[in-house]
Amino acid sequence: MIRTSCLSHLPCICQRAQREMKVWKRLRHPNVLPFIGSIALGSPTTLYMVSPWMDNGDLGYYLKTHPEADGTLLLTQIAAGVEYLHGSDPVVVHGDLKAANVLISETGEACLGDFGLSEVIFDLGDDSRSRDVTNGNSSVFKFAGNPKWQAPELLYDEQRRTTESDMFAFGRVIFEVYAMETPFASFTSSRIVSLVLLGKHPSRPGGQEVIARGLNDAMWKFMERCCDTDPEKRPTAPEAHRWLRS
């Protein structure tokens, strides 16, 4: 698998690509996509970051093409990967956790990928994917990534990603696994921002198929804990990993 970044025009893109490689290449865990290497070619210069090819694609695609897959097991593997990142020295915050950034190996193992928004807690860089969104009160919120997975504290300018904001995004991944769609799929970004700031969750999916996939009351309540508006009330990655294994 190859990811590309054009380095010639925007220094911030170059910095982000270099930061991603710096973080990614030192990570070693069964549930983290391995970094093989990189090469810069062409004019304008394009940086190619190389990792193993994942035949099964990302988590969302895999669940749709493998309806028999054990979603709870995949979430347990994702939690193990996040626990590893948060337990690293220095701590690594993924920063962009969502189903599209979880790849599935040939053996059906979940692996965290796309470290373009990752941060080492004592070496935080500027973000090149910030956007402004105006809510109903005409306040402007600046955020990076997509608000579907963003913790409320990240919707304010100058707020940095944390292990707690990763756990909020993990809660959204729980929703993706069982609903088999993205959170707030039919809403605009500005509407999503308003809902997140109000502490609203996506509507709980129903039906026997959803229940069969593992979305019971306990799992839904755990998802709500992960997505609590108060970062201190969210479970840590080790707590999430233990809960999912129990």
How far apart are the C-alpha atoms of 169 and 147, rounded to whole Å? 10
DSSP-derived secondary structure for 140-202: EEEEES-TTS--GGGGSTTPPP-HHHHHHHHHHHHHHHHHSS-TTTTS-HHHHHHHHHTT--P
Burial bucket for residue 210 (CB in 10 Å: 0-12, 13-18, 19+): middle
Using DSSP, how many helices (H) and how many strands (E) does the chain show?
8, 9
Catalytic residue among 58, 70, 96, 157: 96
* Residue 217 annotated to the active site: no
**Cα(133)–Cα(141) distance, rounded to whole angstroms?**
5
State the Cα–Cα distance between residues 176 and 183, nearest whole angstrom: 7
User: So which residues are the catalytic ones?
Assistant: 96
